Structure 1
Amino acid sequence: MPAPRISFEFFPPHTLDASFRLWETVHTLRPLRPDHVSVTYGAGGTTRELTHEAVTTIGRNTGLRVAAHLTCVEATKAETLAIADAYAEAGVRDIVALRGDAPQGAARFTAHPDGFANSVELVEALARTGRFSIAVGAYPEPHPEAADASADVEWLKRKIGAGASRAVTQFFFEAETFLRFRDACARAGIDAPIVPGILPIISWAGARRFAERCKAHVPPRLEEAFAHAIRDGREELLALTQCTVLCERLIEEGVEDLHFYTLNRPHLTRDVCFALGITPEVSLQNVA
């Protein structure tokens, strides 16, 4: 079974301790030779400057290809495109274009009066610049605001048509969830790569909260397995096994790329990659 191409997602730090954790994550995972890494944009655009700083610093100091998240939240079109221009001037050529979550305290997303109304408009504007390779989000289970699963497929088709070259999915717990979505996209005529987003379960309680927030289905068998593992002190072992088996099943079904949501906690992601046969690059300077 060939090893997949991999990519990692980080989030920008808010504190000094979080900065150290981000750099530990980068340096732990860099030897695995990811195709690229990406840096998220906080809800409501709250980490706009921090994201820019993290993206440019990682790219400058590590040589990694870095993709910057960009959203439509609480910004005019001119302000959003100015951020994109700043990325281009810094040598960043990859953008993950998202509508973005509602600002804290708001029930749902509301477009800025002078801003982009949705991710399709944002993708169109970025594509017109000719300066970026654009990725977008995809939802293998219905988005909380979608009428049904078919609406997510049609919306993804619009984003690809607007100029996006690939999509990365929300996380899921069962391989069949992604495979059904991939098949539905193929039937709809979507031929751009769709990369599964993988969430290593560092904390089952945390994963459950994420799932509730994005309406991801939690299989009862997995709920029961983690309940027993936590009771027996085997949560880390189960997390490693669950994530590895999920990835292996996807690879068996022809998936060639995996995108890991690291949560700036690198060790489980690293161990899953090891289990998949992805070996770290060894510096000759360290071999004596």
Structure 2
Amino acid sequence: MRIDEILARSDGDPLFSFEFFPPKTDAGEENLFAALRELQALEPDYVSVTYGAGGSTRTKTIDIVAQIKQQFGLDAMAHFTCVNATRDELRATLDQMRDAGIENVLALRGDPPPGVEGWEKTEDGLEYSRELVELIRDEYDVAIGAAAFPETHIHATSPEDDLRFLKEKVDAGAHFLVTQLFFDNAVYFDFVERARAIGITVPIIPGVMPIVKLEGLKRMTELSAAVLPKGLERELEARRADPEAVSELGVSYATLQCAELLAGGAPGIHFYTLNRSPATRAILSALKLHAPWRRG
């Protein structure tokens, strides 16, 4: 089912989705499908699968999305980037997605390949994600998502320019937006208000990542421009020697964060799972029991 159709349903309940990345090893693939089996019982509205840097997992992304649909009966979205591909190569990949029955695509400019500094357009390729949205809109019958950056894209010249480029993606045909991860809900609510003020009307789904480990967190926040609130950073550091305590705090914080977002009118939650299930299972189970969107 198309995600824009799921978002248009009339029951008023929020949309819940999980994001995974293509594993690089057989053990990683076993972990991914174990997580999918465990999360399937929570009946997510859809799951998504990312693209590797430089389009390095293009075929694997399509294969995993198709397998998720066939084996687990879940609606799935494939991430798709402009990196290292001509227009004809982009169309060929979109043809593969269509033939695999994929109905949802997250259109992204993408990051340069590892070791390459700065963004470079491929000859006879595309420069901006807006152009990718237009290509998909004109030639393929799929739901199109795009990325949004509540704390401003790291390469944007200003928050205002970033929002202007976002509106161009929506005007080009994006049906919904999924945000980069963030840890301060005030950032999301302010971003939505500013987006609405310039005429962006499509659903803006917040992306939430439960913190279960400190390793890699600093690099992840640097890449996404996400700022850790001082209080959260202090409490995480106080538990650095106790990984279990870090995870407990991270799950508790994310649960409260999601509850506030839903009570405040967010159309759903997109969970960045990092291919693990326990934290997301605990958070989503608590949310479904409490149903904060009915109390907002």
Q: Deviations along 1:241-280, whole A, 9 cap, x unmatched?
A: 110111111112111310001110111011111121259x
User: Distance in 1 between the 2:67 and 2:137 partners?
Assistant: 25
2:264 and 2:179 map into 1 onto residues whose CA distance is: 16
The amino acid of 1:121's aligned partner reads E
Q: In 2, distance between residues paired with 1:77 and 1:231?
A: 50
User: Contact conserved, 1:137 with 1:168, CA < 8 A, in 2?
Assistant: yes
Contact (CA 8 Å) 1:5, 1:35: kept in 2 or not?
yes
Give the aligned residue type for 1:187: A
Residue 204 of structure 1: how far off its partner (Å) = 2.3
In 2, Cα distance between equivalents of 1:150 and 1:204: 32
Mapping of residues 21-100 of structure 1, within 5 Å: 21-100=31-110
Structure 2 counterpart of 1:247, from 253, 258, 261: 258
Counterpart in the other structure of 2:139: 129
1:189 and 2:199 correspond: yes
What SS class does the counterpart of residue 230 from structure 1 fall into?
Answer: coil
**Does structure 2 retain, via aligned residues, the 8 Å contact 1:137–1:169?**
yes
- Is 2-11 or 77-86 further displaced after alignment? 2-11
Work out whether residues 3 and 277 of structure 1, in 8 Å CA contact, stay in contact via their aligned partners in 2.
no
Unaligned 5+ segments in structure 2 are 1-11, 291-296
* Structure 2 residue aligned with 1:10: 20
Change (3 A) 1:278 1:113: farther
CA shift at 1:3, angstroms?
6.2
Residues matched between the structures, number: 278
Percent identity reads: 38
In the alignment, residue 144 of structure 2 is paired with which amino acid? Answer: I
Moved more, 230-239 or 84-93: 230-239
**TM-score, normalised relative to structure 1:** 0.93
Q: How does 1:149-168 map to 2 (within 5 A)?
A: 149-168=159-178
Residue 265 of structure 1 aligns to a residue whose secondary structure is coil
Distance 1:5 1:86 in 2: 27
Secondary structure (helix, strand or coil) at the match of 1:234 reads helix
- Three-state SS of the structure 2 residue aligned to 1:167 is strand
The question of 1:273 aligning with 2:287 is answered no
Aligned residues of 2:212 and 2:248 also touching (Cα < 8 A): no
SS at match of 2:283: helix
Inter-partner Cα distance in structure 1 for 2:23 and 2:274: 11
User: How far apart, in 2, do the equivalents of 1:205 and 1:21 lie?
Assistant: 19
1:95-122 deviation line (CA, Å, top 9, x unaligned)? 0000000111111111101111110000
Find 1:228's aligned residue among 222, 235, 238. 238
Distance in structure 1 (CA, Å) of the matches to 2:224 and 2:182: 10
Q: Conserved in 2, the CA contact under 8 Å of 1:3 and 1:278?
A: no
Contact kept, 8 Å, 1:142 with 1:152, in 2: the verdict is yes
Which deviates more from structure 2 when the two are superposed, residues 136-145 or residues 226-235? Answer: 226-235
* 8 Å contact from structure 2 (residues 53, 113) kept in 1: yes
**How many angstroms apart in 2 are the aligned matches of 1:236 and 1:215?**
22
Aligned position for 2:7: none
Tell me the equivalent position of 2:294: none
Q: List per-residue Cα deviations over 1:218-255 (Å, max 9, x = no partner).
A: 22211101011234551121011110111111112111
